[in-house]
Structure 1
């Protein structure tokens, strides 16, 4: 009787240990498969879309400033002399800038074509070359300007988004010995941190890692 009980107990323990081992192997294998599998919920190409009004934290006025973005990554689509396949940050789309001057009671607008976009989780930097300026607006035709975006996520009431841009005193060349401090030229995907809080509207940043060069 005792021998039978011992044999039964030993068989049960062996079954439990073997089952646990197989479960561990299956879990490890599943973990490796999940890690190696592509993340289907992550977009292949980055984008920044949306429209919003914002305020300058260092200015008190009644002006209304807004940016509208429809920017999408288009990797390796803009050939350069030293990069014939283009760059991983190449992009397309449009940017619209609007500034209502309360003092003059007039709205100035400009539009540009996006040429560069790079993102991180909830953040983006993009640049665009200005192609249209409304009468009385700044002489920016043909000029590249930069923007930064912080997507604060879905929220109620005041938006948690922020924007930054490459003019208005953040891209200067001091110490040049001139009467006026010149503004530096903006290169592709260059902009300051998003320092201006959004007050109305918002932006959506879809992050995607930069892709390797095309093969062949």
Structure 2
């Protein structure tokens, strides 16, 4: 990720036949543009989950913040506050919330950051995949060019031994693409540095159709 002199200031149917049932499920997933990810909320910077509506728990959530493990002085952090309301349990592409990420050469040093709004969330067990649109960045030209682009994230919630992935894992940095499909990201390969935070995944209860 390119750098600038700005210090990162992030706070970072019910169909009658079996065939129709199967088709309905595929159409539901296709509308969201996602595949179900394979397979809490609390301290360490995690934000509280959105209140459930009509007495129901929300359909899915990804919350928390943490620093990625590095052998260098780099300071790389991710923050998520993503929620899928109970009323939208069949539409992962109706998820709402925010994300932030920051990459500095050292804590408090030079680097870049971006934040944005969540536009898709799928969770399965303790794994989450989400995407969002970048709405704000640090001021250098390279980062500003990312505005309006979609980025993806994945998290494996392992109880303070979490892992994180992101859609630009193979390209060296986000490129501002608008072509990335919703809820699409690389596998969660990065380790969270111990003691820097924690992520929490609320599993999605897949709304399978019934005959």
TM-score (norm 1): 0.59
Which residue number corresponds to residue 80 of structure 2?
69
Which residue number corresponds to residue 91 of structure 1?
95
Distance change in 2, residues 1:209/1:114 (3 Å): same
How many matched pairs?
148
CA–CA separation in structure 1 for the residues paired with 2:185 and 2:201 = 16
Which structure has more relative contact order (CA 8 Å, sep 6+)? It is 2
TM-score (norm 2): 0.61
Q: Is the 8 A contact 1:116 1:189 kept in 2?
A: yes
User: Which has a greater percent of helix?
Assistant: 1
Return the offset for 1:135: 1.2
CA–CA separation in structure 2 for the residues paired with 1:184 and 1:45 = 27
Match of 1:195 among 142, 167, 189: 189
Please identify the structure whose Cα radius of gyration is greater: 1
Equivalent position SS for 2:81: strand
CA displacement 1:143-176 (0-9 Å, x = unmatched): 00000000002xxxxx31000001142599xxxx
Matches within 5 A, 1:103-182: 105-136=109-140, 138=143, 139-153=145-159, 159-169=160-170
Match of 1:49 among 63, 79, 97: 63
Q: Is the 8 A contact 1:66 1:98 kept in 2?
A: yes
Q: Is the 8 A contact 1:76 1:90 kept in 2?
A: no
Structure 2's unaligned 5+ residue stretches are 1-55
CA displacement 1:122-153 (0-9 Å, x = unmatched): 11000000000111252210000000000002
Structure 1's unaligned 5+ residue stretches are 1-41, 78-85, 154-158, 173-182
Report the aligned-residue RMSD. 3.2
